[in-house]
Structures are given as structure tokens and as C-alpha cells.
Amino acid sequence: MVFLLPGWGGTVAVYGGWLLLFLALSRRLGGGAGVVSLWESLWLGMVAVAYLTVMGFFFGFAVVPSLFKPDFFAVSAALWGVKLLGVEALRYAVLRTRWPYLLKLAVSIGVGVFYGNTIYTNAKVLSGLAAPEGWAGFLISFIPAVFYNVLLAYVYMWGGFRQGLLLAAVVSGYWELSPVRLTSSLGAVGSVLQLVLYYGLYLAVSRRFQPLRELKEEFFASRWSRVLEYFFLVVAVAAAGSVLSLALTGHVPVAVVSGSMRPVYDVGDLVILKRTSDVAVGDVVAFVVEGQLVMHRIVAVTPDGKFVTKGDAVPVPDPWLVPREAVVGKAVYRIPLLGYPVMYIHTSGFNIMPLLASGLLGGIVINEVLKARRGRRLAT
């Protein structure tokens, strides 16, 4: 449509079509088992946002400066909302059909992954299939998206349209409207961690393990059920808000890889930097020199405004002068030992991740097959 009607005409036609689709299907947007409540759906979404934001502190964030502008954000939110209603209404309509279970599940996943994207975007997603060596990378990056859509489909079926729409709005809103979000350049390890997230949430929703069902009956069948639901919701919202606020306020993590700043910062510490231009003599700052990130203390400022830096454990100043624009941020927090996972993620040790991803996926498939067999035995 955008190719046929370039400019505003195509935009109005596309988003108007999504709105009309939602209105046409609105009478069928009911039902659902009601097992998943709106509170549980919101809790699932906030857990996902908190998890993805924490991943950003290890893998990095993508920043969209235009979304910090209120007018641009408002327009983007309106367009995103219309698209979300159209896509999710179609997904739910598919799940409400009388098609075979696996067929409607597969079609609903296809709607979530491909529908609403431009031809260019879908072609880019599938471009990895063109080369034989791209199959592994494509599957590793594609599988988390599939599992997210499986999770969403189950929330729709076990909860209802409002529950599924709420979960989709929280997760999709993070990816589409947050000015600071998890980078898309994750590699195998990031894809595996996302797979763990969505499969874990799927297990939380399904409650198909007997221990989980017993736990639910023990803790949620009492008169305190509502209090506990609110408590877990508040914890999830607080965690998501805390980690997301750190990203939005310009805090970034840096792992200490050398002992040049001992005893203040040691190898393996995770240091949180605050992006700021307000730095002075005595501050510990991170800066880029010859493509490398270095974290040392400012000991002097030259007449032309450049910084003289020095490691606390080094007897002499650094052999370079640091321009103000090379400063990444000022050290404000230290978390001991947490830098080791970050260091390992960015080393060659994770060359085994494709193998680990395959093993994890195989374990998930085997687990689901065994659960299905147990269910059939109980049914007979």
C-alpha cells in the first residue's frame, strides 16, 4: 500500500486498514478460558521488560533520540496503538477459529512475526536463509520470536483478548516506544537468554507441572490470594521501573578488566557510569582512546580543556590527553564481581553458544513431548 500510495496517503491507508480490521473483528473479541487474569498478564509483561532491560546492561542499549520529543512520541504511540489493535485482533480471530490446533497456532505465530511489517522488513528477516551458512544464525535469532508468539497465543487462549492484548502492549511498547531499549545486536547468547525468558514465562502461564499446580493451590487458594497477586505485581512493576529508569537516565555498565584502578575498582567489578558532561578533577571517568574504553581518574585539566588522567595503581599519568567529547561517563556505582559475566559474554568463550542453543531447544522440545505423553496417559 505504501508503494502504491507514497507519502501520507499510504500511511493513512495502511493504518486506516488496521483500524477497520479491528472494528470489523471487534464483535468476536471475547471468550477465552479466563485462567490468566489481567493482573497476571501485566505481571508477565513487566517481568519481560525488566529482564530485557537487565540484558541491556550487559549487551548494550539502542537509543532513539527522537522518542524523547513529546510530539514525536505522541504520534508514534498513536500509530503503534492502531497497528497493535489490528494485528492482535487478527491473531485472536485466528485462534478462535475451528481449525486444527497446530494449524491455528502456526498461523497466529505467522501473524505475529510477519503481519504488520513492510515487505523490506520481512525480506531482511528472511535474508539469512539465502546462504547455507546463515541457517544457524537465522534459527538462533528467529526462535525467540516464535516462542514469544507462542506465549502470547496461550495467554489469548487461556485468558482472553484483553489479557493477550495487555501483554502484547507492554512488550511491544517496550520495543517500539522506549527511547532506550535493548540493542538488537545480541548474537547467539542474547537469543538464548531471550528464549529462556519466553519459555520460562510460558511455563509460568501453563502451570502444567504438578509442583507448580500444588504451589498455586497452596498459596493462591487462600483468602490472601488477592494480596499476593498485588504484591507480586508491585514487585514486578518496581523491578521493571527501576532498571528501565537507569537506562533512560543515561546509566551504562562497564566491566573492569584490569587492576589499574585498585583499590577503588578491582578486576571483575561492574561499574555504573552516568552519562554527563559535568566532570572535574578527582572524578573517575570512562573514555575512548584508540578505540579502547579506559576508566581512570582525572588528575588535571590543560588550558585548552583536555583531561590528564591516571590510574590509581599506576605511578605516572597516562601518555595521552583526553578531549571532553571522548568521555563516555562518570563512575557513580560499583557492584563487586558482577563484571565477570559481562567480561565472559564478550570473549571467545561464547563460541559454544550455538551448540548450547541447540541443546536448550532440544531439551524444550523433549520436555514438551514428554508432558504431552503424560497428559494422554492421564486422559486414558
**17-30: pLDDT as tens digits:** 888 888 888 877 87
CATH code assigned at 262: 2.10.109.10
Q: Is residue 69 assigned to a domain?
A: yes
Residue linked to cell 571517568 = 285
User: Are both 150 and 259 inside the same structural domain?
Assistant: no
Mean per-residue pLDDT, 205-215:
50
Q: Is residue 182 assigned to a domain?
A: yes
Residue 57, C-alpha cell as written in the block: 546492561
Q: What is the pLDDT of residue 131?
A: 52
**36-95: pLDDT as tens digits:** 888 888 888 988 988 888 787 777 777 787 887 889 999 999 999 999 999 999 999 999
User: Are both 137 and 177 inside the same structural domain?
Assistant: yes
Is the pLDDT assigned to residue 348 strictly greater than 60? no
User: Are both 204 and 338 inside the same structural domain?
Assistant: no
User: Helix or strand or coil: residue 115?
Assistant: coil
Q: What is the pLDDT of residue 227?
A: 64
**288-313: pLDDT as tens digits:** 887 778 999 999 999 999 999 999 99
Domain boundary residue among 207, 223, 249? 249
**143-169: pLDDT as tens digits:** 788 889 989 998 998 888 999 999 999
Q: What is the spatial distance between Cα 14 and Cα 21, in angstroms, rounded to a whole number?
A: 11
Q: What is the pLDDT of residue 209?
A: 38
Mark 276-291 as b/e (b = at least 16 C-beta within 10 Å): eeebeeeebbbbeeee
Q: Is residue 380 assigned to a domain?
A: no
Q: Is residue 6 assigned to a domain?
A: no
Q: Is residue 371 assigned to a domain?
A: no
Q: Is residue 5 assigned to a domain?
A: no
User: Are both 90 and 190 inside the same structural domain?
Assistant: yes
**107-142: pLDDT as tens digits:** 998 898 887 666 656 666 666 555 554 555 566 667
Is the CB of residue 179 less than 8 Å from the CB of residue 64?
yes
Q: What is the spatial distance between Cα 143 and Cα 127, in angstroms, rounded to a whole number?
A: 15
Q: What angle do CA 304, 309, 310 make, to 5 degrees?
A: 155
Which domain covers residue 134, as residue numbers? 12-249
Q: Is residue 263 assigned to a domain?
A: yes
Q: What is the pLDDT of residue 216?
A: 46
User: Are both 141 and 153 inside the same structural domain?
Assistant: yes
Domain boundary residue among 249, 282, 302? 249
Is the pLDDT assigned to residue 225 strictly greater than 60? no
User: Are both 229 and 289 inside the same structural domain?
Assistant: no
For the chain, the domain total comes to: 2
Mean per-residue pLDDT, 219-233:
55
User: Are both 81 and 163 inside the same structural domain?
Assistant: yes
